[in-house]
Amino acid sequence: MAQTFTRKEIEAHKRDDDLWIVMHNKVYNLTSYLEEHPGGKELLQQLGGLDATEAFEEVGHSDEARETVEAFLVGEISAEDAQEDVEIYRPNFEVTSRITEYGSNNKSSSILGKATVLAVVLGVGASAYYGKSSKVLSRTSVDQLKGLFSLQMMTSGGFWNGVTTATIFNGIVAFIGVNKFKEHFMEVNKVHTKFTLHKAPTPEVLLPKKLLKKPILHPQKYRKFPLIRRDSLSPNVYRLVFGLPRSTDGLGLPTGTHVAIRADINGKAASRSYTPTSNDKDLGRIELIVKVYPGGLISNYLATRELGDLVEFRGPKGSMKYHRDLCKNLGMIAGGTGITPMFQLIRAICEDPNDNTKVTLLYGNQSDADILLRHELEGFERRFPKKLSVWHVLVQAPEGWKYGTGFVTKELIKEKFGAPSSDFKVHLCGPPGMINAMKTNLVELGFEAPGVVSKITDQVFIF
């Protein structure tokens, strides 16, 4: 029988050399895991002696992380102190079989098979109707069809006349239609098997929403997708496009959420977050803008992938699931690649005619060459001046620079965002040093301090 503890007893274990936490009414001793935790030791330190269930779940840990947890189990919370377990929404997209079938035509054949059966069934159904109502059609056209297929023998009977004629007619239509689709599916497979540098990615097919397949990513399980295109945008920035199994697959990433990418590097697993610049309207692909850091593990791994190499993704991750009523004014502070989650939101806001959120973006970089998605941001600002205003800040500004220089300061935030109010939220994403400085600035200006793990309801949300 597992040892039980009261919450009071757990509270005593909050030192670095003796750190326990509670999750789902179970007690874990994380002392030996502090330095190893991929999310950093600070978060665990802040939760030492406390219940970390919600924080752990908000992060969206992988299945591997959940398995690792069990290695640190020391007991359970006593019955009188046990809490009702936190309800967790975990979408379960069971689509793995499709993903393993890259380059195989089996899937298309099976779809073609199904389509043919469907066409025949529809044909017979329609014919039954037609058989009854053939009188409605002009006698001449029916006769012409009969003549055309030499069906004199078969067509000598009311209902069956119609059934036979229309089945053949529908069969021909279905055959042509199915072969058109066949071309399309073959094209998709071709894209996944034959990788040509800078070749256009998976062809896009816009289908009615109800025909779109379930999202292809899984929130806990990593799934592999091939690199199908790589563009070098500047010496250390790449646009990478990964192909989904079919051109009709949607990523299923709610606006505001991101993916995790994992790789085994020198025998150790590492994972990092990335916010695709593509969204659910861009079917069949995942597009990332990745900045390569000197010595950076995953960014260098990504930049050195060859076309066709498989990379592991999971998602959606993160508690920001944007909706247009989130707030009236959104202040964004981004540093470097921290622009990607902001860009995802900006794009969604600008492309939604019913979203009137006003976004003020403060975007910090070293030099103007480091500004990511500049062209796209300027385009949105020009087309939607009421929705978006961007203020760049550069450490090394070029001659004649019309925006700010140095760092994003408290004074600049005050000038651009104004006083905090209940309909004003702030989103932050950037290097840890910048985030910490911004947290301090915002709190000093009267904004609410962000929690250990950000929630969508927070006034200051950190990606």
Taking CB under 6 A as the criterion, the residue among 127, 255, 271, 344 binding ligand HEM is: 271
Of 52 and 261, the one with the shorter C-beta distance to ligand FAD is: 261
Alpha carbon of 279 to those of 22, 205, 218, 286, 382: distances in Å? 36, 15, 16, 8, 21
∠32-34-35 over CA atoms, to 5°? 95
Q: Are 221 and 315 in contact (CB under 8 A)?
A: no
Residues of span 396-415 touching ligand HEM by CB under 6 A:
none
* x-marked contacts with ligand HEM along 20-59 as a string, rule CB under 6 A: -x------x-x------xxx---xx--x----x--xx--x
If binding is defined by CB under 6 A, does position 255 make contact with ligand HEM?
Answer: no
User: Which CB, 39 or 254, lies closer to ligand HEM?
Assistant: 39
Q: Which does 28 bind (CB under 5 to 8 A by kind): ligand HEM, ligand FAD, none?
A: ligand HEM
- Binding flag, residue 462, ligand HEM (CB under 6 A): no
CB 340 within 8 A of CB 290: no
Q: Which is nearer to ligand FAD, 295 or 353 (CB)?
A: 295
Annotated binding-site ranges for FAD: 272, 274, 289, 291, 298-299, 340
Residue 192 annotated to the active site:
no
**Of 295, 285, 291, residue with least CA distance to 238:** 291
- Judged by CB under 6 A, which stretch of 66-74, 88-96, 99-107, 135-143 contacts ligand HEM? 66-74
Query: Does residue 344 contact residue 375 with C-beta atoms inside 8 Å?
Result: no
Q: Of the candidates 5, 13, 27, 62, which one interacts with ligand HEM according to CB under 6 A?
A: 62
User: Considering beta carbons, is residue 283 or 302 the nearer one to ligand HEM?
Assistant: 302
Active site residue 275: yes
* Cα 172 from Cα 174, distance rounded (Å): 5
3-class SS at 171? helix
Number of residues that bind ligand HEM (CB under 6 A): 25
Q: From 55, 47, 2, 59, select the one nearest 21 (Cα to Cα).
A: 47
Q: How far is the CB of 236 from ligand FAD (least distance, A)?
A: 10
3-class state of residue 191 by DSSP: helix
Residues 6+ away with beta carbon under 8 Å from 94: none
The answer to whether 403 is a known catalytic residue is no
List alpha helices for 284-406, DSSP H.
297-303, 339-351, 374-383
Q: Looking at the annotation, which residues are catalytic? A: 258, 274-275, 429
Binding stretches for ligand HEM (CB under 6 A):
21, 28, 30, 37-39, 43-44, 47, 52, 55-56, 59, 61-62, 64-65, 68-69, 72, 260, 271, 273, 452-453
